[in-house]
Structure 1
Amino acid sequence: MVIPLHELQMYRNFDELARDVLDLAKEILPDKLIYLSSFTDSEQVILKLSNINPNIHVSEGTAIKLNRTVCNRIDFEKNQPLVFEDTSKEASLDDLRSLYEKVNINAYVGIPISLKNGERFGTLCVVHDQATHFDKKSISMLQKIAKMFSYYLTLENLAYKDSLTGLYNRQYLFNFFADFSKLGGVLFFLDLDGFKKVNDVYGHDAGDQVLKEVSARIQQFIKDQEEAFAVRLGGDEFIIIFPHMSSREEIGKRAEHLLNRLNTWKPECQLSASMGIVPYPANGNISLDTILKNADGALYNAKAAGKNNYEIF
């Protein structure tokens, strides 16, 4: 899992704290270019630079294929920095040689930044246009700075997550609409058919396991959908947001595929899902409260029609 860029944009004081991190690192290595990066599933994105260095061709907002960056070789599990004091002499960088010559990086330090749950965030990187010796004390100090930054990221991340399932929570959903509703898109509102019986017959621990499994199936379903995300609204109610408008035909296909993922269980666990679906326009004035009310009405109609079904508002 990685932190999407639209989530980072909601973090309180992220820009200010990122700048403070770079300023602290700059005190340790004042003559180097230092930057913070984050990872998506496929790219490394340069978030903030300590300064502009005309000799090194790296800029904020640059996205690099993750398999084409040396940061992807950092050992995040062991939380170990990666150091190349002279990239021109590193045989292990032969496949990246042309890239680093193009941006004029000849020395590199990559410090891993992870959340406390082990999720990779990205890196704190130091680069220079000449071969450079990096002393152990400087690297140790950079690791401490990265560790403090990871604590901040963890706290912000937890504020937007449901503690049981790991999906986003209601607060994240409302903040997203406050900042990004102008994009337009489609909201799926679903709940589980037969979930109350699971709790009544097998107990709440079994019910919690079902909710975790449903969440995992939803996450698997949306992982290849650009910028889509899922929310646990409460109980057995879930929201999925697909930013950008989809055709009615595409909405129907996605709904059917999702229902198929959620109606296959062990014989003793008779579960399915019903959904209310609401497309909302880009740059519209419709509020999230109204969208949710409309979705709830469509969900009611889907259940009334026999459950394991969907209704588009």
Structure 2
Amino acid sequence: MGSVVRLDSDRVRTVMPNHVWRGMSRPDLRFVAVVVVASVVSSVLTTLLVVGPLVEAIVPAIVIPAVVSLPASIYMVRQRQKIQMLNMQLEDLLRRDPLTGVLTRRYFLNGVQSAMAGGGVLLVIDVDAFKSVNDTWGHPAGDRVLTEIAGRIGRAAGPDVRVGRLGGEEFAVFAAGVGLTDGQRLGEALRSEVAAMPISFDGTAITCTISIGLSMVPSDAEDVDPFMRLADRALYTAKQAGRDQVCLAEPLEARA
């Protein structure tokens, strides 16, 4: 025996007028039900035939690029991070002297130019008899001396004072907002810090001293270069006077 198909007469009736419905026999109703079901199935198939290709075309166009672009996006983010890190490293190389870790000449002078509006004290420092260190113990010993002296200057100057390496064995310090008396004290503190203890290298104690030229920078100064020249002249005077001392430059007005 075949399975019995039960018709939902209410659903079939909704698509037919009442007088037609009442006049139809049971077999007729079955025929109508088959027609209705076939119509519904045909509509569904037609919809799938129309929408299906669109779905097949649209979904890959949206999903596949998104999936493919995800690794590319991650790659681009990582590349940008690497570039930013390299830029920071390059900036640090340009900013910091690779041997001593203090500011390079360019960044030191640019920083002084920006910070000198309130005046301050500028000190130019030279390591005494540095050539003899290289000649006696070699350039590695000279590098050790420069590194240690830069560290001692930085510690004695403090965190709010700019310290830079001008080149070779020459350094510079700028203390913003510092007057003459405190500037001279700072110079003497730097000098005594370097001379206080020999520098150890490969079992050898190397005694080092520094000479310092000091120039006062007034609050109305517009350019650092004239005061660098004054400090250089004062440094030369300190060298000529016997080294290991601080020499104050004449005011710029006195030389005019």
Q: TM-score range by the shorter chain?
A: 0.5 to 0.7
Q: Look up the match of 2:230.
A: 294
Q: Look up the match of 2:170.
A: 237
Q: Look up the match of 1:171.
A: 106
After superposition, where does 1:169-208 map in structure 2 within 5 Å?
169-208=104-143
Q: Look up the match of 2:216.
A: 279
| Deviation of the 1:175 alpha carbon | 2.1
Per-residue deviation, residues 13-46 of structure 1 (Å, max 9, x unmatched): xxxxxxxxxxxxxxxxxxxxxxxxxxxxxxxxxx
| Deviation of the 1:298 alpha carbon | 0.5
Q: Which has the higher helix share?
A: 2
Letter in 2 for 1:283: D
Percent sequence identity is 32
After superposition, where does 1:78-89 map in structure 2 within 5 Å?
none
Cα distance in 2 for residues equivalent to 1:145 and 1:181: 37
Q: Which has the higher strand share?
A: 1
With a CA cutoff of 8 Å and minimum separation of 6, indicate the structure with the bigger relative contact order.
Answer: 2
TM-score, length of structure 2 as denominator length: 0.60
| Deviation of the 1:255 alpha carbon | 1.4
Per-residue deviation, residues 106-137 of structure 1 (Å, max 9, x unmatched): xxxxxxxxxxxxxxxxxxxxxxxxxxxxxxxx
Letter in 2 for 1:249: T
| Deviation of the 1:189 alpha carbon | 0.4
C-alpha contact (below 8 Å) 1:273/1:308 kept by paired residues:
yes
Residue 254 of structure 1 pairs with residue 189 of structure 2 = no
Once structures 1 and 2 are overlaid, which stretch shifts more, 208-217 or 263-272?
263-272
Per-residue deviation, residues 284-303 of structure 1 (Å, max 9, x unmatched): 23x32211111111111112
Gapped regions of structure 1 (runs ≥ 5): 1-139
Cα distance in 2 for residues equivalent to 1:249 and 1:179: 23
Cα distance in 2 for residues equivalent to 1:178 and 1:248: 19
Change (3 A) 1:278 1:163: same
1:311 to 238, 243, 247: 247
SS, match of residue 173 in structure 2? strand
Cα distance in 2 for residues equivalent to 1:143 and 1:258: 46
Per-residue deviation, residues 213-249 of structure 1 (Å, max 9, x unmatched): 111112222334x2x11111011100011112x2322
| Deviation of the 1:178 alpha carbon | 4.1
Per-residue deviation, residues 73-94 of structure 1 (Å, max 9, x unmatched): xxxxxxxxxxxxxxxxxxxxxx
After superposition, where does 1:1-313 map in structure 2 within 5 Å?
148-224=83-159, 226=160, 228-244=161-177, 246-263=178-195, 264-265=197-198, 268-285=205-222, 287-313=223-249
C-alpha contact (below 8 Å) 2:108/2:162 kept by paired residues:
no
Per-residue deviation, residues 169-201 of structure 1 (Å, max 9, x unmatched): 111123224433323211110101121111111
Cα distance in 2 for residues equivalent to 1:300 and 1:168: 23
Cα distance in 1 for residues equivalent to 2:136 and 2:219: 45
Change (3 A) 1:183 1:142: farther
The CA RMSD over aligned residues, in Å, is 2.5
Q: Look up the match of 1:16.
A: none
Cα distance in 2 for residues equivalent to 1:261 and 1:177: 23
Change (3 A) 1:178 1:240: closer
C-alpha contact (below 8 Å) 1:276/1:312 kept by paired residues:
yes
